[in-house]
Structure formats: structure tokens, C-alpha cells
Amino acid sequence: MAEVAPNARFDPEEAAATRRHFWSRFLVYAVLTLFAVVYLVPLLVVIFNSLREQSEIARNGLISVPRSFRFDAWAQAWGSYCVSGTCEGMKRNFFNSLAMTIPATIISTILGAMNGYILSKWRFRGSELIFNLMLLGVFMPGQISLMPWAFLLGKLGLTNSTYGLVLIHVVQGISFTTLFCRNFYVSIPDDLIKAARIDGAGFWRIFRKIILPLSPPILIVTVIWQFTGIWNEYLFGVVFTSGQQQPITAALVALTAGGTTARAYDVMSAAVLIGALPPLLIYLFGGKYFVRGLTQGAIK
């Protein structure tokens, strides 16, 4: 690092310092590279296999440099692969997942923002208690609610329907979205609200004109968190829907469980990627907010 000035004297310490620096850097990058390989190999294997021919996979194994290249597996996985009798690939399940995730994300985020606003800026007697009650929802294992949901969805006629899953994810998601938004809104100075009230603004006006314009950072975090969480959810999907109504996670399990004979790794790889793509894209483009959501969700 230290470049030597032309008139500098000989410095015996410098060689040692340079050596120390080199080895410590080497160690750091070696560790990072090693783990990066471990983390990336599974992804690369799936990507490669979705593009390889099944016969080539069968011959050379899963982990191998691709020696063939085609998109057929993607087309099959998307539109024509047969799972338990129906040959429509994953596209229906993909759209099921979208139809479940998008409304559930939007509704739970709106509710969370309203709740957070009220619980931080319009406190009343017992509002802390209500907040803590909602917080408990974050920790509930889904298994506790399986039976009650089964009964309720039955009563509402929402069994085996995407709407039922939307309802479940909204109710379950309120805890998270409220938590995120409240913790964010708490950091907005109360004086801002007081000033607005003195200026004659009411509940809705303050929300629209003051809170909402300050909210994009937390709303992005909340939307990303909810979207990836709901998209990736499996338990409720597999319990409350079947066949054509299943979201993509449940369908993936059904698809990969299928053939006991020669496994169609090419199609399954493509299917797995189709299922992983939306959250991966969100992660790649909203990475900063994704990480912020993680850390905020953790510091409950």
C-alpha cells in the first residue's frame, strides 16, 4: 500500500508490514470465495440442468458442465408437463400464486400502514396492549390455526380457493405489517403531527399529506417482505388447496414427488426456477430493502 517516496530511507519494518497485509487479505478473500462457491453451486446446477437434455443429465449426472443447450424443459415445465393426470405444467399454479400473493400483500400492507399510524400517532388507552396482542400473531406457529381455519373456510365456502388463502395471509400478515409500520412511524416526530393538527388537519389529512409521503421506505420493505413470504409459503397452500388450485410451492412438491422411475431433472429444474424466480427477482432489484426488512423483522 505505502508507496515509497523517492528520497525515503530504507525501512526494515515495511517488508514485514506488507507481508502481514498480504496474508490477512488472502485469508479473507479465500474464506469468502470458498463460501461463495458453496452458495452458488446449487443455483448454477439448477440453471444448467434446466437447459441440458435429460439424456445428457442421465449420462453425466446432475453436477456437470452443460454439453447441450435448449429451452424445451422450460416450455414443458411452464405449459405441458403432466402431474397426476393433468398436463398443464406449472402455469396455472404460477398464476394461482400471483392471484394469492398480490391481493394479500396489498391488503395487509394497507392495513398495516393504517394500524401503524394509529398505534404510533393516535394512541389511546389500551393501544399498547392492542399492539402487543397483534405482535403475538408474529410468533404463532401456523399449525395452531389449521383446524380453526379449516372450519372457518368451510363455513365461508372458501375451501380449495385462492380467496381462502388470501384471507389467511392477510390475517396472518397484519401482525408483521403493523409491526414494521408502527416501528417506522414511531420515529417520525410527534411535533410534526401536533403542528399539522394546529394547522387544522384531521386524521385522514395527516395520514395522506404527512405520513404517506414519508412512508415509501417502509412500504417497500413491507411489500417485499409480504410478497416473498406469501409466495414462498407452503403449509396453508398444501392443506387448504389441491390440484389445480394449488399455489406453486405445493405444486412443486407434487411435481418433484411424482416419478419414481427416471426423474425428469430438466423439467423439474425449470419448474423449480419458475417457482423461485419472482422472489429472486425482487431480491435482486430490491436487495437493500429486503435486507432492511430482515433486520427490522429480527429486532422485534
**Residues in region 233-272 near another protein by CB under 8 A:** 233-235, 238-239, 249, 252-253, 256-257, 263, 265, 268, 272
Residue list 13-72, contact with another protein (CB under 8 A): 13-14, 16-18, 24-25, 28-29, 31-32, 35-36, 38-40, 42-43, 45-46, 57, 60-64
Among the residue ranges 78-86, 158-166, 185-193, 292-300, the one whose residues contact another protein (CB under 8 A)? 292-300
Residue 160 near another protein by CB under 8 A: no
Least distance to another protein, CB of residue 59, Å: 11
Alpha-carbon distance of 252 to 259, in angstroms, equals 13
Alpha-carbon distance of 191 to 129, in angstroms, equals 24
Alpha-carbon distance of 73 to 268, in angstroms, equals 8
Residue list 96-125, contact with another protein (CB under 8 A): 111, 114-115, 118-119, 122, 124
The residues, any chain, with a CB within 8 Å of residue 91's CB and separated by 6 or more, are 78, 79
Q: Which is nearer to another protein, 22 or 151 (CB)?
A: 151
Interacting residue with another protein among 26, 69, 95, 151 (CB under 8 A): 151
Sign of CA dihedral 7, 13, 19, 23: negative
Least distance to another protein, CB of residue 82, Å: 18
Residue 153 near another protein by CB under 8 A: no
Interacting residue with another protein among 77, 165, 166, 174 (CB under 8 A): 174
Interacting residue with another protein among 98, 102, 201, 282 (CB under 8 A): 282
Among the residue ranges 82-90, 135-143, 157-165, 213-221, the one whose residues contact another protein (CB under 8 A)? 135-143
Residue 184 near another protein by CB under 8 A: no
Q: Which is nearer to another protein, 87 or 257 (CB)?
A: 257
Alpha-carbon distance of 174 to 299, in angstroms, equals 17
Among the residue ranges 65-73, 87-95, 183-191, 275-283, the one whose residues contact another protein (CB under 8 A)? 275-283
Total residues binding another protein (CB under 8 A): 98
Residues β-bridged to residue 83: 86
CB 271 within 8 A of CB 48: no
Least distance to another protein, CB of residue 52, Å: 12
Q: Which is nearer to another protein, 162 or 169 (CB)?
A: 169
CB 230 within 8 A of CB 117: no
Residue list 202-231, contact with another protein (CB under 8 A): 202-204, 228, 231
Residue list 71-90, contact with another protein (CB under 8 A): none
What are the CA-CA distances from residue 264 to residues 65, 67, 271 (Å)?
18, 17, 11
